[in-house]
Amino acid sequence: MPMEVWQGLLIPFAGTTLGAACVFFMRNHLRESVQRALTGFAAGVMVAASIWSLLLPAMEQSAGLGPWSFVPAVAGFWLGVLFLLGLDQLIPHLHQHSPEAEGPRSQLSRTTMLTLAVALHNIPEGMAIGAIFAGWLYGDSSITLAGALTLSLGIAIQNFPEGAIISLPLRSEGLSKPRAFLYGVLSGAVEPLGALVTILLAGIMVPVLPYALSFAAGAMIYVVVEELIPEMSAGKHSNLGTLLFAAGFTLMMTLDVALG
């Protein structure tokens, strides 16, 4: 596999790792307003990436279907939504501001379930990176290496605050700094793994790449609507999360159009 692909897979993971490292030189917790702002920013990046980096290329690849070119995008999108819905029901996890765990009953610790919650929404990000690099690897003219690396960079940017959002609260709950950092890193480890699996599967079934791209988009949108938007709106009403959503959206859109 070309070195560019490995770099693309590891760039987002590096973003999570650097964010988790904030636990070594920042206070043990983030103010609620800051968490809402960072969550809104991440949501904006994910929505823009879903549109410009995934859904539009999926429809471009299906242009031969004429007026039906939307079919693979719609079908893949819904498969992605249902896939994340299934994982949401099958994996026990706990969101930072939620009083009750989701998924099946479990004896897992609160720390583990908080980490699983972040890992769960990192899965579609890894799939998105894998799908876009698979499109470039297998010769789709609508996907360039620059476009694939732009998606990796955009996700890495929003992964940085996510790494801090998981490690700092864990430190405030009593974990040592190294352990809080480790859990933050582990929450992002699913991204390169998910990307690698997606590339390998797409290589076997090249004709389904439009479905793979839109599948990742559907999974990402599910995470945004089900998890990130409620979190950025939690607590006292504030427009900060909305403004940072718009900032993340425009940043990712600008990167994709200007660099991709």
Q: What pLDDT is recorded for position 77?
A: 96
CA–CA dist 138, 57 (Å, integer): 14
pLDDT of amino acid 139:
63
Residue labelled with tokens 């908080």: 114
Q: How confident is the model at residue 214 (pLDDT cuts 50, 70, 90)?
A: very high
What is the predicted pLDDT for the residue at 141? Answer: 60
pLDDT at 75: 95
pLDDT at position 73 over 70 = yes
> What is the tens place of the pLDDT at every residue in 19-32?
899 888 876 666 77
Residue 81 scores a pLDDT above 90: yes
pLDDT surpassing 80 at residue 102: no
- Tokens representing residue 34 in the block: 């800051």
pLDDT at 79 over 90: yes
**What letter does residue 235 receive in the DSSP assignment?**
S
Q: In angstroms, how far is CA 10 from the centroid of its own chain? A: 14
175 sits in the region (left: phi over 0; alpha: psi -120 to 50; else beta) called beta
Beta partners for 104?
none
The ranges assigned to domains in the chain are 45-259
Report the percent of the chain where pLDDT is more than 70.
91
Give mean pLDDT, residues 61-87.
Answer: 90
Which amino acid, 49?
A
Q: What residues contact 190, with CB distance under 8 A and at least 6 apart?
A: 119, 122, 123, 126
Q: Which tops the pLDDT comparison, 222 or 31?
A: 222
Q: Is the pLDDT of residue 203 over 80?
A: no
What is the chain's mean pLDDT, rounded?
A: 84
Contact (CB, 8 A) for 22 and 163: yes
Beta bridge partners of 93: 102
How does 141-155 read in b/e, with b if 16+ C-beta sit within 10 Å? eebebebbbbbbbbb
How far apart CA 176 and CA 172 sit, in angstroms, is 9
What is the reported pLDDT for 98? 66
Q: Residue 28: what pLDDT?
A: 64
225/86 Cα distance (integer angstroms): 15
**How would DSSP label each residue in 23-55?**
GGTS-S---HHHHHHHHHHHHHHHHHIIIIIII
pLDDT at residue 58 tops 80: yes
**Is pLDDT above 80 for 106?**
no
Q: pLDDT band for position 169 (50/70/90)?
A: confident
Residue 226: DSSP 8-state: I
Predicted TM-score (pTM) of the model is: 0.85
Strand pairing partners for 102? Answer: 93
